[in-house]
Structure 1
Amino acid sequence: MAAFGVYGTTRNWPQLDEAGKPLKDGEGKLLWGPAPTIVFPYQWQGEVVNRKFRSDRKQFQQDRDALRTLFNADAIKTADEVILVEGEMDVLACWEAGFRQVVSLPDGAPSKLLDEGDLKRLDDQRYDALETCAEKLAAVQRILIGTDMDMPGGYLAEEFARRLGRVRCWRVTWPDGCKDANDTLLKHGPEGVQAAVAAACPMPLEGIFDMRDGCLHEFLHNGREPSGLTAGIGDLDEIARLPAGGGWLTIVTGIPSHGKSSLLRTWLICTALRSDLGIVWCSPEDNRPEVLALRICSVLLNHPMKAAGGYVPEALLAKAQDWVRRKVTFLWSDNPDTEMTLEWVLARAEEAKRRFPRNLLVLDPWNEFEHQFTRHESETQYTGKWLRKLKAWGRAEGMGILIAAHPTKLQKDPKKGVYPVADGYDINGGANWFNKADLGLTVYRRDEGYPEVHCWKARYDAFGKRYEFARLKLDPRSGRLASTSSRDAAHSNMEDRHA
């Protein structure tokens, strides 16, 4: 401590009870008394400009109207790197470990992180010490932030990065079970402090990915690598598997009435039965959520809701309803003033995800939403912008995105008299649909009751097999699709169209 001019004394402090609360006399006035005190001198340009007092009960005081500067600020003599910690004892601990250019604020960490534009943040005198040392700090190439590992310490680290420039800030992570540098020194010695500082990682930068130690192992073992969920429908699973994880975009298209919504209901419900898939489902075409819920129940039970013998048994319906309640959240509004814009959908989806475990957002169909173009914005530009936004939102929220979208009006083949199999290039809005999709499917009905599912895009093999298709069988009573067990091995004619 001698290197810093730190010394001990006795000073009057408010007396505290065993719980740390101030003691008061009969008139409600604080009781004062002497207590052992450590004094930390704050020097600036060779002179003591402030003193910070710390009692044996961790009470703190400073000289009134003193110049705010960093503790140990005069030790900053070179521009290579500086370590910023949270308190004077942490500065001493780093010094003991061999580091000299180590400083701390006089006022500790904030209790919350304010928005960057908040006026209270701009007026916070806690950071006046940074202004005093601004010229010295501006020349430093690398700033290592070793604040405490609790929530306030995280807030302080973020505020340091904001004020000093995130691009030159590295975060020091103290070992498990250690709150700060001093704790690390006591439990692991100087070597523990040195190891933590040496392992500091760059603070995250928007748009830049740093390959930190262990990130690939974490990626593989946390299930974040591209993978697809199966539905247990053999023929369909062979050519398409629902992308699992946040940010993956699945596009399903097809001529109206060819069975896009039927595919979605069977594919998603069967997948949810076999996995932790939780769905936020927005389907304006169904008029009311109960309509879609009943269709889902019919697929789930593989039983019509109403048949010649009457309605489905009440106990069976209640069981299906309970499953749907746990696995599906419906977005819907009967307010005539509500515009079902994509902003509205994402806001509601975020709320649903905070209430229930949900990891897939379904928009069916795209044309039923209120699309608000900006001035001079084409449909192609709007579509590209929103597909990018949806994928970015999905990554941030940990949700996949599935969109059902109608193709443009297709022309029949003049010789065969049949429509071609549409793909992403045929959807209103241009090639964005094909380019942005991670999995692209088309539902095509060649024969009544036997819809085909064609895969026209699979960004990764785990998602499907491009240019292959599955022929399924529709149960008209329940609306459920099943394998035909005779999947045609021939390629879809889409390959010929875009060869």
Structure 2
Amino acid sequence: MAHVGTVGTADGQAASVASLGQRAEAYARERGISRTTLEQLGVVSATVFFPELKGSSEAIIFQYFVGGKRTFWKGRAFPDKAFVAQKGGEVAFYNLENVLADIPETVFITEGEFDCAALVEAGIGLNQVLSVPTGAPEKPIPDDEPISGYGFVDDALRAGLSRVKRFVWCGDGDANGLALRQNMARIFGFARFWFVDWPEGIKDPNQMLMTDGPEDLRDLVVNGCRPWPVQGVYRISEIPEPPPLTLWTPGFVEWEGKVKLAPGTMSVVTGHPGHGKTALWAQIWFSIVRKYGVGACMATFETRPVPHMRRTLRTLFWGKLECDMSPEEKARADYWIDDRYRWIIHPDQKPTLGWLLDMAEVAVIRHGARIVQIDPWNRLESQRGPNETETDYIGRCLTSLYVFAQQMNVHVQVLAHPSKMDGPRKGKAPELDDIAGSKHWDNRVDQGFVVHRPKLFEGGQRCTDAELLYKKSRFEELGYPCKLLMRFDTARRTYVSVDYEA
């Protein structure tokens, strides 16, 4: 045989390397691989010592090249099965040099050199095939742990492999091969990662080449490969049709079509202290609870459930002041309140958002609440991280509330005080982004409201005119931004709408 070099064996001996011996060619032909394919891949043969066989054997030698130099080799004994590899060599993808010489849009990656040769035999371009140089792990690296042990992949990406638009994984179908596939998907990125599922009884490309032939192998890896499933990106046809919003009207006839509320959404209400935020929204939610038969969960940290909220709800229930009710009327109202309302009270008056959402979940699941109100926001204990800005903290909290609203299918409402407004804006109605803490109060919610009283007193008399400024509506089903005029009826202690269009 014509010598083209030597390979060092596991026991330190040197073995002669020929171009490709006849016995090696015959063995490869049994596996469906032609001499032409092997020569294209630089495969040669030699007699090599195999520790596993405790002796020398003829072997097919797969040579790894980087920069025109052979940096690593692996040997496969025949007819007995055994493997040996160069110690201290530079580990890289097999056939990487051919791929980097003419980088294609798609590269097919196998788990072994014979599988790589099988793809070339099936008609896949020489510059489109790679094989990993190392064995497959027993299990994938957990998603929450960093990937390690695959430096040859990082090296190849830096050398130019990152320009490939699509990687098609053609590895083994056994448990170890699937573990390696998952690790590779994370390394290359899910967006560019595709894979092949082998037919029943087939575990790799070389086996399919021998059983089904080159045409079927090529058709499967080229046309039958599938993109790695990714949760979060869908065609419109893949998105299930959501149920329509369940719409609630707020109880004012004049507001029909202008304002609606719905479970599965989130709203914020602001306004200067003393301008009636709590009273107005207690009335609106009472109207919805009564009309639609839903339950409400209220965290009223600055207004005591007993006696203050009970007095308000008794008055709304009967339409007259509590002092004018008989004991029987109070008892009947209380029975209805007990049935429809749940109250969140922290034993130490130091509620956190996490604790509050846990309690709200109990109210939703056990008691059927569809409304969760937090009044006011600044009474929650802050859980802001040491390196977390206030804006990031508020954004994180609002995301948690929004997810809760959607997952539990409830309306979550937060009443929040604005920052102090001085100068020319003093006494003016605040905007949503005036809420203390973050502009996220404006951009993270579905609906935004401002309760404002233009004048508290005039001529020594109390002014009862008020405005509900509907500042934001994310969905057209929920109405549209507008100004709604009201006045507070002191005799019945309820708000009445003023038809500003009349």
Normalising to structure 1: TM-score of the pair?
0.53
Letter in 2 for 1:252: V
Does the Cα contact within 8 Å between 2:418 and 2:435 map onto a contact in 1?
A: yes
Please give the secondary structure, in 2, of the residue aligned with 1:240: coil
Determine the structure 2 residue equivalent to 1:260: 278
Corresponding residue number in structure 1 for 2:48? none
Partner SS state of residue 396, structure 2: helix
Q: Which of residues 265, 270, 273 is equivalent to 2:288? A: 270
Give CA-to-partner distance per residue, 1:363-385, whole Å, 9 cap, x none.
321221234789999xxx83x44
Residue aligning to 2:477:
462
**Cα separation, partners in 2 of 1:293 and 1:488, compared to 1, 3 Å:** closer
Instruction: State the match for 1:389 in structure 2.
Output: 396
Q: Which residue of 1 aligns with 2:450?
A: 442
SS of the residue 1:251 aligns to = strand
Aligned mate of 1:49, from 70, 74, 97: 74
CA deviations over 1:411-439 (Å, ceiling 9, x no partner): 9x9xxxxx765542554458664465542
Partners of 1:390 and 1:153 lie apart in 2 by 42
- Change in 2 beyond 3 A, CA 1:159/1:433: same
Q: Given the alignment of the two structures, is residue 82 of structure 1 paired with residue 107 of structure 2, yes or no? A: yes
CA distance 1:353–1:314, shift in 2 (3 Å): closer
1:63-85 C-alpha deviation (Å, 9 max, x unpaired) = 69978765766763532342346
Distance 1:396 1:5 in 2: 59
What secondary structure, in the 3-state scheme, does the structure 2 residue paired with 1:76 have? helix
1:38-72 deviation digits (Å, cap 9, x = unpaired): x998763477526699xxxxxx9976997876576
Question: Which one of the candidate residues 239, 254, 271 is aligned to 2:258?
Answer: 239
Structure 2 SS opposite 1:488:
coil
Question: Is the CA contact 1:172–1:196 (under 8 Å) kept in the aligned structure 2?
Answer: no
1:365 aligns to what? 376
Give, in whole Å, the separation in 2 of the partners of 1:143 and 1:272: 58
Quote the Cα distance in structure 1 between the aligned partners of 2:162 and 2:337: 70
Q: CA RMSD in A?
A: 6.7
Cα distance in 2 for partners of 1:456, 1:61 equals 75
Q: 8 Å contact 2:466–2:486 — kept in the other structure?
A: yes
Match of 1:113 among 142, 154, 159: 142
Counterpart pick for 2:347 among 326, 330, 334: 334
Consecutive unaligned residues of structure 2, counting only runs of 5 or more, are 1-24, 32-58, 455-461
State the identity as a percent: 17
**Letter aligned with residue 129 of structure 2:** Q
Which deviates more, 362-371 or 44-53? 44-53
Instruction: Provide closer, same or farther for how the CA distance between residues 394 and 335 of structure 1 changes in structure 2, counting only shifts above 3 A.
Output: closer
Question: 1:272, 1:297 → 2: CA distance?
Answer: 11
CA displacement at 1:455 relative to structure 2? 0.7
CA contact (8 A) 1:424 1:440 kept: yes
> Structure 1, residues 278-315: CA drift from partner, whole Å, max 9, x if none?
98865444678x99998999899999999612645999
Per the TM alignment, residue 258 of structure 1 is displaced from its structure 2 partner at its CA by: 1.4
Deviation per residue, 1:148-205 (Å, 9 max, x gap): 99999997666435545x4x9513276999999979x99x9754543455x748979x
Letter in 2 for 1:403: V
Equivalent residues in 2 for 1:344-363, closer than 5 Å: 362-363=373-374
What SS class does the counterpart of residue 231 from structure 1 fall into? coil
- Cα deviation code 1:333-359 (max 9, x no counterpart): 4357xx545576679889999999999
User: Aligned partner of 2:136: which letter?
Assistant: D
Query: What's the counterpart of residue 171 of structure 1?
Result: 193
Letter in 2 for 1:171: F
Residues 1:50 and 1:230: Cα distance change in structure 2 (over 3 Å): farther
User: Structure 2 counterpart of 1:106, which letter?
Assistant: G
**1:402 and 1:487, CA in 2 relative to 1: closer, same or farther beyond 3 A?**
same
Distance 1:487 1:270 in 2: 20
Paired amino acid for 1:308: P
Q: Is the CA contact (8 Å cut-off) linking 2:168 and 2:194 kept in structure 1? A: yes
Q: Which has the larger displacement, 361-370 or 90-99?
A: 90-99
- Could you say which residue in structure 1 is the equivalent of 2:164? 141
1:88-111 deviation line (CA, Å, top 9, x unaligned): 998689665846425456315734
Asked if the contact 1:406/1:427 (under 8 Å) is kept, the reply is yes
Work out which of the residue numbers 131, 149, 153 in structure 2 matches 1:130: 153
Would the aligned equivalents of 1:71 and 1:106 in 2 still touch at CA under 8 Å?
Answer: no
SS in 2 for 1:82: strand
The number of aligned residues is: 405
Q: How does 1:274-423 map to 2 (within 5 A)?
A: 282-285=299-302, 308-309=327-328, 311-312=331-332, 320=339, 333-334=346-347, 340-341=351-352, 362-371=373-382, 382=390, 384-393=391-400, 398=406, 402-407=413-418, 422-423=430-431
* Whole-Å separation in 1 of the counterparts to 2:369 and 2:29: 55
TM-score normalised by L of structure 2 = 0.52
Change (3 A) 1:98 1:391: farther
Amino acid at match of 2:184: F
Amino acid aligned to 2:281: L
CA pair 202-369 structure 1, distance change in 2 beyond 3 A: same
| Residues 250, 287 of structure 2: 8 Å contact kept | no
> What is the aligned partner in structure 1 of residue 35 from structure 2?
none
Give the aligned residue type for 1:101. Answer: V
Instruction: State the AA in 1 paired with 2:395.
Output: R
Contact 1:70 1:129 in 2 (8 A): yes
- How far is the alpha carbon of 1:141 from its aligned partner? 3.2
Say if 1:407 and 1:136 are closer, same or farther in 2 by CA, change over 3 A. Answer: closer
* Selected match of 1:101 from 120, 126, 129: 129
Distance of 1:359 and 1:434 partners within structure 2: 23
Return the alpha-carbon distance in structure 1 between the equivalents of residues 256 and 296 of structure 2. Answer: 19
Instruction: Find the structure with the greater CA-based Rg.
Output: 2
For residues 135 and 233 of structure 1, do their structure 2 counterparts lie closer, same or farther at Cα, with a shift above 3 Å needed?
Answer: closer
Q: How many Å separate the matches in 2 of 1:253 and 1:386? A: 19
Q: In 1, distance between residues paired with 2:111 and 2:369?
A: 39
Q: Is the 8 A contact 2:448 2:471 kept in 1?
A: yes
Residue 424 of structure 1: which of 394, 415, 432 is its match?
A: 432
* Structure-2 change in CA distance of 1:307 and 1:169 (3 Å): same
Distance in 2 separating the partners of 1:177 and 1:295: 72
Greater relative contact order (Cα 8 A, min sep 6): structure 1 or 2? 1
